[in-house]
Amino acid sequence: MSPRVGVILPAAGRSARFGGSGPKKPFALLGGKAVWLHAAERFLERPEVVAVTVVIAPEDREFFLEKFGGQLAMKGVSVAIGGAERSDSVKSGLATLLAEADFVAIHDAARPCVDSSTIDRTFQAAFSTGAAIAAVPSTSTLKRANRTGRDQPQTIATTLPRDDVWLAQTPQVFRRDWYEEALNRYGHERVTDDAQWLERLGKPVALVRGSDLNLKITTQDDLILAEAIVQKVQAREKRRAFHPFKDDLGNEL
């Protein structure tokens, strides 16, 4: 039997860089549908996914349930209330997952453009190795800056080799027992992605080729760009469904 996956969509951040006077970025509309719902639907349609939970901030609870309560019930999505730190939020999400979930997939609620191929590759790598994340190799020249005063422009300290540098994305998929152990032992340490807890536990985490289209919405400009990407991804998914034995580029599988 195929491993079963519980999906957690963190959406409890402050969205400080998103700006505007409207809702936070996971709740903003993208093509007439909330950003978080685009992300959730990419996983709800998969047979190996047994549960999807969205984690929201306490102050968003009333708004979220009033705005999206019908969709939550119709699609079977659970809601968890986040805490002060990321570890508090994902622990809250974990508590809602069914016991039969063998793996945990963490996917940013603000990444609505993930495609099926990226999810396929990440799931399969995690099932084989125990832990895997979507990522893309860096194509940019990397500079480390000198620390300067607040009103002074930063200057280059050194140029870093980019040969082995990857830019982390989500989904990030882990054996549930590994992830829970990592959280229990290292959850008090601040991280910028969940794979860092697994790294500190000493578990190897596979890097899986993600997609340059797997945009994380951070600013209002990103939302405009995501409108075009979502249309492209949806068109690609339709072609993929029509040709079940071909990949996204039309190659035979």
- Mind listing the pLDDT tens digit for each residue in 9-39? 999 987 656 766 667 889 999 988 999 999 9
How far are the Cα atoms of 30, 55, 93, 139, 149 from residue 126, in angstroms, in the given order? 30, 23, 20, 25, 44
Between the two ends of the chain, the Cα-to-Cα distance in Å is: 22
Q: Are 68 and 29 in contact (CB under 8 A)?
A: no
Percent of the chain with pLDDT over 70: 91
Please tell me the predicted confidence (pLDDT) of residue 250. Answer: 47
* Count of CB atoms situated within 10 Å of the CB of 152: 9
> Is the CA virtual torsion 134, 120, 187, 18 positive or negative?
positive
**Taking residues 72-83, what's their average pLDDT?**
95
The pLDDT of residue 82 is above 80: yes
Q: For residue range 112-164, what is the model confidence (pLDDT) as tens digits?
A: 999 999 999 999 999 999 999 999 999 999 999 998 777 788 899 999 988 89
Q: Buried b vs exposed e over 201-221: b needs ≥16 C-beta within 10 Å?
A: bebebbbbebbebbbbbeeee
How far are the Cα atoms of 41, 49, 183, 185, 187 from residue 180, in angstroms, in the given order? 25, 18, 5, 9, 9
Mean pLDDT of the chain: 90
The pLDDT of residue 109 is above 70: yes
Residue 159 contacts by C-beta under 8 Å, 6 or more apart in sequence? 141, 142, 143, 144
Where do we find the tokens 């909330």? 34
> Is the CA virtual torsion 238, 107, 175, 130 positive or negative?
positive
> Is the CA virtual torsion 120, 214, 46, 3 positive or negative?
positive
For the record, the structure tokens of 128 come out as 């084989």
